[in-house]
Structure 1
C-alpha cells in the first residue's frame, strides 16, 4: 500500500512496516537513492524492529520541488513526518546525507531520537567547490555524466567485479533520480556544517563506515565519532559507501548489538500485555483484569505470556493474518464467545468485514457447513452491535 503525507508543503512517500510492539528503526537514505536501498538489510532485522523508511524530497516517489534545497528542508521534513505519525524515542539510522539529516533531527528535537546510527556520513561533507563542480556538470550533461564515478565510490572493487547485474540496478536508481532533487540535495550537503550542533548531541551514537568508502572515507567518519560524545566507531570490511547493500549481515549485527546493549528487552508478560491490549482493546483487558481472582490468576498469566507474549508477538505474521486465523479456528472449534471477541477485535487488527466473510465461507469447505453457519450468525450479531455503537 502506498503511504504518503504532505509535510511542509511537500508530498513524502514512506513505508511504515512491522508489528507495532517492536521498537521502531527509522531510516534516512543517501543522495541518489530511495527507500529501496535498505531492502537487503530489512530481513535480517525483521525479528527485532519495526521500520519506517521514506523518500526524501526530490528522490524516489516523493515530490521534487525546484532546486536548491537547504539541509534544514530535509531535517524539517523528517521531523514533520515523525510528528505526523506520532512517533518519538526512535532509533534513527542515516546513510550519507541521511546521516546529516539524522544528526540535525537528533540535535533539534532530541526527544524524537533515542539512539543514533550514522552510516558513511559526517558532520560536514565537503569541500564546497566539489559540490559546485558536480552541480554544474549535472546541469549541463545530466546525472549520467557522473554515474560511473559514483559507482566506484558507492561499491568496493570486488562487488563491482562480481555483481555486474546488481551494480547496473543501483546505477539505474542513481541516474533516474530527478535532476532537481539530486542537485538540490547537493546544494544542501554543500552548505551543511553540523560541527557545533553534533558536538552537543546526547544520544548514544554508532558511527559506521565501509573500509573502501570513496565518498566519506573512514577517517572522515572517525572524526565525526570523535566529535560526538558517547559514540562508538566501527569499520565494515569489504564495503564502499552503501554497506546496507554490500554487507547487510555485518551492518545488521552491528545495529542489533548497539541497540540491544541499550534497550532492555521487555519481559514476556509486559510484552504480552501490550500486544493483548493492542488486539482486544483496553476496555476488554481492563475488564478481564478486574474479574481476575487468585484462582484463575495463573491461567491469565499463562495466556498473557504464552499466547500474547510468545505467539501473537512474533513478526512472521501480521496481526491481521493472526486475527483471521484465530477467527477460523474459534469458529471451527465451536468456541462462540471467543469467536465473537475476536470478530470485535478486528477493529484493532485491520481485518476487514469482507475478509472475515471470506474466512467463514472458506470454513464451510474445510470445517463443515454447520460450523460456518453458526459463525456467520455470530458475526452478523457482532457487526450489527458494532454498527449500532458507531451510530450512537
Structure 2
C-alpha cells in the first residue's frame, strides 16, 4: 500500500512482514538511491510521521538522494499492537525480519534514541550485513541499569513510576512535561503535537511496556563486537539522554567517532542550526 499525505508520504510504499513469533511488522520505503535502514524507536507511525512537525523533516532529510527504509516496532504504529512478547531481543529480531523481507544484503544502519541500542545489537549479531552504523541520541544502558548509587536508582524508579501513572491515565500535564524532555527548545505547540502523536501511535498499556523495557536496556557487553565504522551524534545538552551516554558508546565501539551538536533537544527540530549539521555529518559519513 502507498502512504497518503504531504511530501514523500504519497511516494512511500508500505508493506508487511512477519516476525518469527507471527507478529506482523509494517515497513516502508521512500526515495531512491543507496539504501539507509532506520531502526525503530519511540514511537513511530509510518503514515502519521509525515504530518508530524517532530518527524517530517527527519524523513525528508534522511531520504534525500537515498532510499530510506524504516518500520514500526511491535506494539505501535501500523505493526501489530497486541503482541505475544515485548522484549529488547524481540526488537532486534523484528529488525532482522525487516532486513530479510527487503532483501538487503549489506547496508548502513541508523539508530535513534533506544533504536540505537537495537542497531548496536543487530550490528554485533550480523557484522557481515552492516556496512556503517549511525547512532543519534543513543545509549548503551537504560536508566535503571546505569544508576550507580542509591540516589540514582531511586530517581530512575521514580521516573518510571511517574511515567506509568501518567501514561496509563493519559494525564495531559504529565504528557506535556514528558514531551518537553524530548524537545526542551520546542514550543508548547510542539509539545502538544508530540503528545497527540504518541497517543495516536500506541496504547497506554503498550506505552508503559516500552518505557519499562527501555529502562532495562544494556548492550554495553556486546558493543565491542561492532566491526563497522560508526558515527555517534548527540546533542551536547540533551535533557533526555545525557551526552555522557554517547561518550560511553564511543568508548565501547572500536571504530567509532563522536560528534556533539549545540542543542538541548533529544530530537532535533527543523529550525535549529544543529539539524543541518546533523544531516551534513551523515551525508559525509555515508559518502566515505
The equivalent residue for 1:350 is none
Cα distance between partner residues in 2 of 1:63 and 1:237: 37
1:183 counterpart (208, 216, 232): 208
Query: Which segment drifts farther, 61-70 or 80-89?
Result: 61-70
1:6 counterpart (5, 12, 18): 18
Richer in helix (by share): 1
Q: Does residue 1:142 correspond to 2:159, yes or no?
A: no
**8 Å Cα contact 1:41-1:252 kept in structure 2:** no
Cα distance between partner residues in 2 of 1:66 and 1:180: 12
Distance 1:210 1:29, change over 3 A: farther
Shift of residue 87, structure 1, vs aligned partner: 0.9
Q: Does residue 1:213 correspond to 2:241, yes or no?
A: no
Cα distance between partner residues in 2 of 1:139 and 1:68: 20
Shift of residue 144, structure 1, vs aligned partner: 4.3
**8 Å Cα contact 1:65-1:180 kept in structure 2:** no
**8 Å Cα contact 2:141-2:217 kept in structure 1:** yes
Shift of residue 194, structure 1, vs aligned partner: 0.6
Cα distance between partner residues in 2 of 1:166 and 1:136: 22
Alignment of 1:55-204 (within 5 A): 55-66=72-83, 69-127=86-144, 129-130=156-157, 132-134=160-162, 136-138=164-166, 140-142=168-170, 144=172, 146-157=174-185, 159-160=186-187, 164-176=188-200, 177-204=202-229
Alignment of 1:24-35 (within 5 A): 24-35=35-46
**8 Å Cα contact 2:44-2:73 kept in structure 1:** no
Cα distance between partner residues in 2 of 1:219 and 1:58: 30
2:60 counterpart (25, 43, 55): 43
**Which 5+ residue runs of structure 1 have no aligned equivalent?**
262-392
The equivalent residue for 1:286 is none
Greater RCO, CA 8 A, separation 6+: 2
Shift of residue 204, structure 1, vs aligned partner: 0.8
**8 Å Cα contact 1:154-1:242 kept in structure 2:** yes
Question: Can you list the C-alpha shifts for 1:228-258, whole angstroms capped at 9, x where unaligned?
Answer: 1110111122341112656432221110111
Distance 1:126 1:257, change over 3 A: same
Query: TM-score normalised to the size of structure 2?
Result: 0.80
The equivalent residue for 2:275 is 248
The equivalent residue for 1:298 is none
**8 Å Cα contact 1:10-1:57 kept in structure 2:** yes
The equivalent residue for 1:285 is none
SS in 2 for 1:127: helix
Query: TM-score normalised to the size of structure 1?
Result: 0.60
The equivalent residue for 2:34 is 23
Larger Rg: 1
SS in 2 for 1:257: helix
Question: Can you list the C-alpha shifts for 1:98-125, whole angstroms capped at 9, x where unaligned?
Answer: 1111111111112221111111111112
Work out the number of aligned pairs and report it.
255
Richer in strand (by share): 2
Shift of residue 215, structure 1, vs aligned partner: 1.4
Aligned-residue Cα RMSD (Å) equals 2.4
Cα distance between partner residues in 2 of 1:27 and 1:146: 29
